[in-house]
Amino acid sequence: MILLDGKQTSAAIKVEIASAVTEIKKQGKRAPHLAAVLVGTNGASMTYVGAKVKACELVGFSSTLIDLPVETTEHELLVQIHALNENPEIDGFIVQLPLPKHIDEQKVLMAVHPDKDVDGFHPMNVGRMALDLPTFLSATPYGIMELLERYKVPTSGKHVVVIGRSHIVGRPMSILMSQKRPSGDATVTIAHSRTTNLEKLTLEADIIVAALGIPEFLTAEMVKPGAVIIDVGITRVVDESKKKGYRITGDVDFESISKIASYITPVPGGVGPMTIAMLLKNTLLACERHASK
């Protein structure tokens, strides 16, 4: 079994990005600049945004955190987004999800200018991805594709079962892996809560992408020996033995499946760390595109 080590791979990507930043600065240009908008005090969101800002510092990017109170109205948030769209000093920005219930998430995501949408959530960028056109791929699917590519995991002609049809992970993964591209050319089945006889499908799969958000859902009885396992789950499960009072649990029963898989991502340390590295990569790309305009 080979561990698909997201911690190590993301660290290597950050070193590559840092050296690209050094090169940019050597040419007398300003560093890439990422902004993050956080509305409210959701614990997980605050942790993620904090990690994104820290990662910017690590690679030499500028970063701006726009921290808004939970009572912020949709209109006020849209005003902030328009200001970021117009600000030439900002190459890309993200609006951390989930947003408070009184704000229409889709309306907000559509207000982000597609050229600054480093999360790749705008319908224009999702459409470009589906049509094989250059775009910002959203961080989690991009991170998984990058892991598969860097570890040279064979995907061409393989049967992939993606469990979960979310807009952020399952849907884009199913599209990307079926495309003619590195880590693509696979035959893809997308399974979801209404799928019947899931076990029959997963037992036939060469690669399983588990992205449904149910801790340890995938068990060894559901997996063909030698399969490749990608675990996208990051559920906080109460654990009094931990300092924080919880532990992060994946969608895969790592203990049993790691004994039969050919490749597997751990949780934590697999897909998770890759997402921030890919967000930085998108921001670097946005900066390069910005500079060449």
Residue from 5, 91, 119, 253 binding ligand GUN (CB under 6 A): 119
By CB under 6 A, tell whether 146 contacts ligand GUN: no
The span from the CA of 24 to the CA of 56, in Å, is: 15
- Stretch near ligand GUN under the rule CB under 6 A, chosen from 63-71, 92-100, 142-150, 185-193: 92-100
CB of 11 to ligand GUN, least distance (A): 19
Q: Annotated catalytic, 119?
A: yes
52 tagged catalytic: yes
Using CB positions, name the residue nearest to ligand GUN. Answer: 97
By C-beta, is 166 or 187 nearer to ligand GUN?
A: 166
Q: Which of 14, 52, 116, 281 is catalytic?
A: 52
Among 9, 63, 72, 96, binds ligand GUN (CB under 6 A): 96
Whether the ω angle into residue 268 lies within 30 degrees of 0, i.e. cis, is: yes
Distance CA(215)–CA(63), nearest Å, equals 33
97 is a contact residue toward ligand GUN (CB under 6 A): yes
Task: Rule CB under 6 A: say whether 68 interacts with ligand GUN.
Answer: no
195: exposed, middle or buried (Cβ count in 10 Å: 0-12, 13-18, 19+): middle
Quick one: 119 or 231, whose CB is closer to ligand GUN?
Answer: 119
185 as an active site residue: the answer is no
Q: Helix and strand tally (H, E) in the chain?
A: 10, 11
Indicate the DSSP class of residue 239. Answer: -
Round to whole Å and give the CA distance between 77 and 268: 32
- Closest to 219 in 3D by CA, of 270, 257, 265: 257
5, 80, 91, 96: which is the annotated catalytic residue?
96
CB 125 to ligand GUN: min, Å: 13
What is the b/e burial string over 247-256, where b = at least 16 CB atoms within 10 angstroms of the residue's CB?
A: ebbbbbbbee
Q: Is 139 in the site for ligand GUN (CB under 6 A)?
A: yes
129, 137 Cβ separation under 8 angstroms: yes
Question: Annotated catalytic sites, by residue?
Answer: 52, 96, 119
Residues making contact with ligand GUN (CB under 6 A): 94-97, 119, 139, 275
